[in-house]
Amino acid sequence: MLPGAWPVAWATFEQTLFEASRNSAAFERERSTLSTRALFQRGSPAQDSEQRSMQLVASASIPWARPARGTYESLETLTIRDAQLLRRSEYSAASSVVAAVGLGDNPVLRGHSPRLVTSPPEGPAWTVGTLLNVTQEVTSSWISVAYPVEGLLPRTALEFVAHLIRW
C-alpha cells in the first residue's frame, strides 16, 4: 500500500472493527460460508493433523486446543447477537495493540494507536526444543512447530501471529 493511502485505510479499518453496525445478511453469508467449509473439511487428514498439533501443546480441556476457526457445530449455532456481544466485550480501541513491520515511524499509526510495536523482540523463540513423531497412514505429511511465548498474551494476538506465519 502506498504511504499516502494509509490514513484512509486506517480510518476504514478502525471504523469497521470498532464502530460499524453489523449487517445481518452479510453476517449470515459469511457464517454460512465458514460452516460449509467446516463441514467439507470435517475428518480431513489436514484438519486432523492441525488438531493433533494443538493437542500436543495443550490438553483438550484448554481453549487453545480447540479449533481456532470453530467447528461445524459451533458455526451452525453462531448468531449475529453472539458476534455483537463478543465485539462489545473483547474489542476496544483503547485496549488494542498495533504491530507494524516495515513502516518505520508512521504518523497515522502513531496518532491512532494507544500502543504501537514497530519491531519484533530480539532473541530466539526458545532455547530447548522437543521432537515428537506422530505416524499415520496418509498421502501427505505435515510439520508442526510450536513456539513458547512469555507472558499472558491474549489468544487473539497469538492467532494473528500464527495467521501471518501461515500466510
CA separation for the pair 99, 108 (Å, rounded): 13
CA separation for the pair 88, 96 (Å, rounded): 13
| pLDDT in the model for residue 116 | 47
Single-letter amino acid code for the residue at 42: R
| pLDDT in the model for residue 31 | 93
Q: Each residue of 90-125: pLDDT tens digit?
A: 888 777 766 665 555 666 656 655 454 444 445 444
Report the Cα 57 to chain-centroid distance in Å. 17
pTM: predicted TM-score of the whole model, two decimal places: 0.53
| pLDDT in the model for residue 42 | 86
Fold of 3-166: Cytochrome Bc1 Complex; Chain A, domain 1 (3.30.830)
| pLDDT in the model for residue 82 | 92
Domains of the chain, by residue range, sit at: 3-166
- Pick out the chain residues at pLDDT < 50: 114, 116-121, 123-126
